[in-house]
Amino acid sequence: MESRHFGIGTVPYRLEAVLIKAGSDVVVVAAGGTKPHIGATAVAAPRSSLTGRGNSASVSVICQTGHCDDELARSAAKELASAWGCTVTLTVGLHIDAAADEDLYVLRLNFAQLLAQVAEAVPERKDG
């Protein structure tokens, strides 16, 4: 299995991701803040868009009780599976104790930038 490591930001907003190619599928674990953890996991399976234009993905999510990582996991897994044309499992766990709105904003911004790094990492994307 091939793997790659990514990172962005500085403490307490530091986020890291590991991408593992499992055959033609991909597993991504993204975690950070002051307490990296497993907050939510999404599995996205690629499919043709229901509009008939382009690609999309069907997504299933498991979220730990009391965690708010599910929407990040869902949207990121869907984006990657749609772009790459393979099944993507994505686990997210971002946390800062007593986070203010600004802290959450910075974590989400860093997550988007981390996701952009990951999105460029898989060289063989399927079209169609």
Q: Give the percent of the chain with pLDDT over 90.
A: 84
Asked if 15 and 111 touch (Cβ cutoff 8 Å), the reply is yes
pTM of this structure: 0.91
Closest to 30 measured CA to CA, from 79, 102, 66: 79
Q: In sequence order, what are the beta bridge partners of 61?
A: 42
Residue-wise pLDDT for 82-122, tens only, equals 999 999 999 999 999 999 999 999 999 999 999 999 999 87
Rounded distance, CA 43 to CA 32, Å? 20
Asked if 81 and 102 touch (Cβ cutoff 8 Å), the reply is no
Rounded distance, CA 118 to CA 106, Å? 18
**Predicted pLDDT of residue 123:** 54
